Amino acid sequence: MPKKRLLVACGTGVATSVAVARKIENILKERGYGDQVEITTCTVAELESKAHLVDLVVTTAQYSKPISVKVIMGVAFLIGRGTEPIINDIIESLGLK
């Protein structure tokens, strides 16, 4: 089965997106999905050009342009609260269940 591709975006594509990507990666590994998902990062400005390459986007910045894949707001990973419904949404949206 090919890996699902998850793109994590933030304003600069550096610190915030990398931190959120690591948190999501660790949670997915803990739940047994680690080898099923490939996670990359980018800036919000790059989303439009990269969306067609992935199965799902998680962003910590506002993004309202229409793109070809679902976008999930991931600010909860920065504040450390309310992540459970987002993780469940990621797992369901990627079809990992």
- Give me the CATH number covering residue 77: 3.40.50.2300
Q: What integer best gives the mean pLDDT of the chain?
A: 94
The total number of structural domains that make up the chain: 1
> What backbone phi and psi angles, to 5 degrees, belong to 29?
-65, -45
Q: Please, which residues have CB within 8 angstroms of residue 2's CB and are 6 or more apart in sequence?
A: none
Q: What is the pLDDT of residue 77?
A: 96
Domain that holds residue 14: 4-93
Q: Return the amino acid letter for 14.
A: V
Q: How confident is the model at residue 89 (pLDDT cuts 50, 70, 90)?
A: very high
Range 26-46 average pLDDT: 96
Residue 14 pLDDT more than 90?
no
